[in-house]
Amino acid sequence: MARIWKSFCFMVLVFGAATTFAQDVLMKPFVLASKGAGDMAQKVEAAKVALTKAGFTVAGSYSPYANTTILGVTNDELRSTAAKSEHGGYGAAMRVAVVKAGNDVQVSYTNPPYWAGVYRMSGDLKDTAAKLQAALGKVEEFGAKGLTAEQLRKYHYAFGMEYFNEDNTFVSYGSHEEAVKAVEAGLAAGKQGVTKVYRVDVTGKKEVLFGVAMKGSGDSKMMDDTYLMSEIDFKDVKSAAHLPYDILVSDNKVFAQYARFRIAVSFPDLSMMGANSFMNIMKSPEAIREALALTVGGKKDAR
């Protein structure tokens, strides 16, 4: 009996240690799949083919600036897991970036377990991570010193800045269908410089994720994809898979993550001040909020 009790206690300690270890694993926002010489267009097409064979749907793509193409991809696990938590729809798609940087072409993608934590999803998306790795490869995770799942689920950059559940609520419509129609119309018109890159419908739930491109100049420069990334995506390995930005229609309401959260969680190690810092894009969160609000039929000051 004593021997059985000791064995049981040992198993409890081992299990507890394993659980603690799993919770303490540091994750980073992006995965570098490959890096090397090659033709940009061929790399993009090869990525699309590999992703399709691995069971992904390429929901849309765009080139926000020269030498960069972003793909929005989804699969059954992403769409079904997204349905199980409040605003899990933000995680209904992952983003794949193909970037020509110097003499190399870099292929990278958003790290599913990292973003499952960020979006407080009911699941860690490890199956999707394995399929992305099988399709595209994995050299390393990058983009931050690393955060645990627990840290990601309660992430905010600094005191007074937003958490995941403090997103912008732009407008309410009479029905889900009316809300989706209004967003589609606003993106098609593009009057605020915001246009559709892709749409992903969450499985079994009245929730739709839109990936959107943002172009601005002059007074609206601060919401422009090119301007933003020129300030904050300055390292050798590019974090272009931060783009595109998101709009979420959940039931009859239209939301977006506030930019002080959305940008910070992609670049959690970015300095507050100095060269290539948040200070340089200080006006961007409000510029983005206003452009998105007006695009979806809300008011300029909608929050």
Q: Are 61 and 27 in contact (CB under 8 A)?
A: no
Q: Taking residues 104-113, report their average pLDDT.
A: 98
Give 115's DSSP letter: H
pLDDT per residue over 172-229, tens digit each?
999 999 999 999 999 999 999 999 999 999 999 999 999 999 999 888 899 999 999 9
* Residue reference for tokens 């992609």: 266
Neighbours of 161 (CB within 10 A): 15
Pairwise CA distance, residues 81 & 240, whole Å: 25
With contact defined as beta carbons under 8 Å apart, do 207 and 251 qualify? yes
Q: What is the pLDDT of residues 151-179, one digit of tens each?
A: 999 999 998 889 999 999 999 999 999 99
The string of pLDDT tens digits covering residues 8-46 is: 333 434 444 333 344 589 999 999 999 999 999 999 999
Token pair, residue 162, equals: 């937003």
pLDDT > 90? residue 278 = no
Rounded mean pLDDT, 97-106: 97
46, 115, 160, 210, 226 from 90: Cα distances, Å: 26, 9, 23, 9, 22
Q: What is the pLDDT of residues 112-124, one digit of tens each?
A: 999 999 999 999 9
In the chain, what are the domain boundaries? 27-295
Decide: 293 and 183 in contact? Cβ < 8 Å.
no
Distance CA 276, CA 252 (A): 38
**In this structure, which amino acid lies at residue 107?**
V
Return the CATH number of the domain spanning residue range 27-295. 3.30.310.70
HEC profile for 85-109? Answer: CCCHHHHCCEEEEEEEECCEEEEEE
